[in-house]
Amino acid sequence: MSSMKGLNQFIVDLRQAKDSDEEARRINLELNNIRTKFNSSSNLNGYQKKKYVCKLMYLYLMGYSLLINFGYKETVELIHSSTFSEKQLGYYAVGLTNDVNPGLMMALQGNHNTKIPFKYKSATDRLNNLFQVMYPVLLADLRSTNEDVNILAFQFIASLFNYDITAIKSDGLELSDSVSTSNKWEEIVDTIYSFCTSPVQPAKIKQKAVAALYTLAKLHSNIFVINTTWIPRLISLIDHEDFSVVLASIPLIRFLMELKPEYIKSILPSVAAKLNSILVDRKCLPEYFYYDTPAPWFVVGLQLLVESFFLYLEREAPALLTSNIDATTLSNLRLVVVHSIQNSSKPIKGLPNRNSQSAILFQAVSLAVFLDASPEAISGAIDALLLLLQSNETNTRYLSLDALIKLTARSASSKYQTIDVDQLPLIFALLTDRDISIKRKALDLLYTVSNNRNYYTIVNKLLEIFPNIDFHLRADVAIKVAILSEKFASDSHWYVTTMLKLLSIGSNSSSNGATIISNEVWERIIQIIVNNENLHAMSAKLIVQLIVNPNIVYNKGEILDSKNESSQPIRNPGIISENLIRVAAFVLGEYGHLIADDQETPIALQFQILYNNYLNAPLSTRAMILTSIMKILLKFPDEDFVPDIVDLFEIEQSSVDLEIQTRAHEYLKLATYMADYIFANEVIRPLPPFESLDNALMDRLGSVRGILGKQNKVLDLLNNKISNHSTGSLVDIGNPIKGKKSSPPPPPPPPPHTILSPNWLAGYSRMRKYDAGIFYESQLIKITYRIQAEESVLRIKFIIFNNSKKTANTDITGLTILQLESKTGTEDPSYVLSIDKPPESIVPEKTTMELSIKVRRAIESKEDPIIHLTFTCGGSFNQLNLKFPIVFLKTLSPTAMGNVEDFRRRWNQIGELLGDNGGAVKTVSTGAVNTSSGLVRLLTRLRFSVVHATPETTIPILVMGAGILHSSENNCGLLVTLRSIDSGAQNLEIHCRSTGEGVAPLIAETLVDILKD
């Protein structure tokens, strides 16, 4: 663009214009010139088109968009040009002006009418219009063999179709199969997907393609759910050797994991291994080092990805818990956190290097609690962050506070000690920081670190600084003081005193009329007082004392009692708070009669308090005072002040406010209708207890609620329970902080049918019969197995061999356990699967993979699990779905049964006790001649104790075996007899009896499978 002298001169002329009139004349002159050139019959060359379109774009950027109602045709010609620079400029022009110039879109469709509206009606109109007209261009450029042209299309899609998830849902932008353009969208998505998964595409193409695919995935997520093979292929990008591709794929993978949380555990080992390799082993290419830190942006991105996994939910439960992570992966993640904390504590030279280490520390701290880090590690992280709070850099202090908020919010369990009382002054000091964002974060941190040990100190400090703190933070301080006082209060007197103090020191409103203390605060106080009978009289008395002595507010953090005349209070001049008057009107009207006999708080004094503050109160508060005065009249109809009440009602009948006028008129009629006030007492009833347990204050918490809200359900299970700090009388309102109990989640939908890989059955059958052998084999891969039993726990060790090494000399890469699919029930499963050791992602020769199965009871064959493996070999993506058996018989251990008499006695006992439920009979044709010694070897291999066997030459053959089957619920005895039923000894009759009900048929069926040819 620098070679366009005409463009450069035009820009210089505009910048040198002395006033707006001269600028307008120069612009009009140029627009007329461009319009003439565009309308002339002579054909403009590519350079001229670019120059004139650039001038129009510059005017657009200067804010003269309304003057640009031509040039659409030339922009379209640039987009379709075969010259890269012209096509590039055409894309830029469309991207720049499409929001306000639908005419450009119409020009792309061949309509060059300039009399058009200049704004889209909605985001949906913009999206549909833009896609409709750009679809042919985008599809052609995506299919181009020119990589630079491909990148232009990717960048256009990633930027122009990029909407926030919230906006997509609120504006109805999410696409479905019912949309008329769905086929075109799917064609674009499918084309970009092929770029992402192609083994021959270079890294720079994949990087751009992944960004574009993520943008479209947010708009058309359904296509990824329908195409079941897409997500496994896309998440394998995490194993790409190029860091830029992995970094670009992280947002897409996070989005896909929300669609399919069951795949999280498949990707976690690879991410943990990468983090450990880079951060702990410092294995990183030199070009990725940032000063002394290896790829800090890459490390932070992966840490953020792992953190998001812990926050996803699957069927209303956390998709990932520490107990579900294999030992190797968990160890790698914990090492990453420890090294991040240790590295940040070392002396670091240079600001850039310190910033990169701090960024890694902040993200590692967010992970620490999810990984069940030790208390020492948590303490070390807190100390490192507290040290950073003393930094001179505002950004460092802000990020340190943010990391501490996350850490302390997630350390809600009592097993973690977060911040000591001695460390609070450092946070208090930040409340006076020059930057208001630091003050706000410090306030959020004080809220999250509050517990039973420090809440008193924090609440009193916030009350102390309230009158002098930044005006914009006072409402936030009031909200947090109210919630903390309620949450931790064990003394009802302290709670009421604290809340009244809060109301009394808060002025009514700012100079512009904005309320400092929101209505939710005093409304919540009323709710708690009403719902706790023991607070009625005490609250009324404290309010009277405070209003009678409005200047006496503080004495070491407590309201002075009127009897305590020896104290020297700190005086707080000023008018009585509007919110305090509201609470007084409500409480004295409802409960003033409870303290009317007290000499210090007679009913006449209570009436005088309300009456004197009536004219100074705003209209909404006056309405409340009228109601309270009416209730006092009904309870004390013979007092001397009753005529004053009637006079007030008569005067206010002429009020300019309709609400006050209406109340005054109605109350006057009630007060004068019947002398005994029977009708009035029926109309005006005492306020019943509040039924709603919702706390409106929680909605006013601000940014800290966003941090806490998403994690609540996850942290409930992570910490097993949330500590309920509220003790004492305030609990009577029903755990106010948590609110209403949610309804149980709906039952999960049935899982889709899994298509197993070819030739899976041979390995499945072999594993049922033998404890070691070949599980699966193909031209690319070979898997062997070995089963070891430790009572009720079966351990399977798989060895994965790279068969392609022999033929193509190619490594297997990206080897991942995509999913370990259990087919047993989720409520009360027959077994529990876990991965003890995941395979290495890169397999030059071979690698091992270990599973453990905890058998809880007898297992049917229909419950056998499926292991899903994915890997890449020679550039091709492969997925194996292999079913493997969990054979209850393999938990058998031999038993000491001495002779046949003991065997028969036990056999009869089982028959008498369980009848048909304890036994089973099966026949099997082995297809070969059986011998007594052969059957003995078989039962011995199956870990039976052989009690009896007929001699080798005896027909029929009879072999007896006994053993104990183990499960976590209980163990059961097993007796087996094998008897030949033909002269050739090829057909056998199997008799099983077991002390476990329903076990014998399963064992008999297993023995049939083993004995079959």
Buried b (16+ CB within 10 A) or exposed e, 807-838: eeebbbbbbbbbbbebbbeeeebbbebbbebb
Q: Which residues participate in the annotated binding site?
A: 37, 47, 51-55
How many CB atoms are located within 10 Å of the residue 899 CB? 10
Answer for the pair 931, 952: CB distance below 8 angstroms, yes or no. Answer: yes
Question: CA dist 291 to 274, 342, 352, 356, Å?
Answer: 20, 18, 8, 9
- Amino acid letter, residue 300: V
- Residue 801's nearest CA partner among 757, 837, 850, 839 is 839
Residue/partner pairs of 954-962 with CB below 8 Å, 24 or more apart: 955/980, 955/983, 955/985, 956/980, 956/981, 956/985, 957/930, 957/931, 957/932, 957/985, 957/988, 959/932, 959/935, 960/900, 960/903, 962/894, 962/895, 962/897, 962/903, 962/906
DSSP string, 429-467: HHTT-SSHHHHHHHHHHHHHH--TTTHHHHHHHHHHHGG
Task: Identify the bridge partners of residue 869 per DSSP, sorted by sequence position.
Answer: 817, 880
Q: How far is CA 378 from the centre of its chain?
A: 22
Q: Are 966 and 946 contacting, i.e. CB atoms less than 8 angstroms apart? A: no
Distances (CA, A) of 999 to 167, 790, 918: 57, 20, 7
- How far apart CA 69 and CA 63 sit, in angstroms, is 13
CB hemisphere CA count around 380 (13 angstroms): 18
Report d(CA 857, CA 829) in Å as an integer.
Answer: 9
The amino acid sitting at 705 is R
From 317, 222, 227, select the one nearest 264 (Cα to Cα): 317
Grouping H, G, I as helix, E, B as strand and the rest as coil, residue 675 is coil
Q: CA dihedral defined by 976, 978, 979, 985, rounded to 10 degrees?
A: 180
Which residue has tokens 């990148």? Answer: 151
| CA dihedral of residues 827, 753, 220, 271 (deg, nearest 10) | 70
CB atoms within 10 A of CB 686: 10
- Nearest CA-CA partner of 71 in 57, 82, 91: 57
- Among residues 442, 446, 448, 374, the alpha carbon closest in space to that of 409 is found at 448
Dihedral angle of Cα 415, 419, 420, 426, to the nearest 10 degrees: 180
Give the span between the Cα atoms of 819 and 882, in whole angstroms.
Answer: 11
**Phi and psi torsions of 850, nearest 5°:** -125, 135
Q: Residue 570 in contact with residue 555, Cβ under 8 Å?
A: yes
Distance from C-alpha of 443 to C-alpha of 350, rounded to nearest angstrom: 31
* DSSP summary character for residue 418: -
CB burial of 156-186 (b: ≥16 within 10 Å; e: otherwise) equals: bbbebbebeeeebeeeebebeeeeeeeebbb
- The interaxial angle of helices 536-548 and 492-505, nearest 10 deg, is 30
Tokens representing 321 are 């818990």
Helical packing angle, 72-79 and 84-97, nearest 10°: 130
Question: Phi and psi of 119, rounded to 5°?
Answer: -140, 145
